[in-house]
Amino acid sequence: MATVQIKGMSCQHCVASTKEALEKIPEINDVQVDLDKGEATFSGDVAPDKVKEAISKIGFEVVEYR
- In percent, the amount of the chain with pLDDT more than 70 equals 100
Mean pLDDT, residues 37-55: 97
pTM above threshold 0.75: yes
**Three-state helix/strand/coil letters over the chain:** CEEEEEECCCCHHHHHHHHHHHHCCCCCEEEEEECCCCEEEEECCCCHHHHHHHHHHCCCEEEEEC
pLDDT of 41 reads 98
Query: Which domain range does residue 60 map to?
Result: 2-65
CATH code for position 22: 3.30.70.100
For the chain, the domain total comes to 1
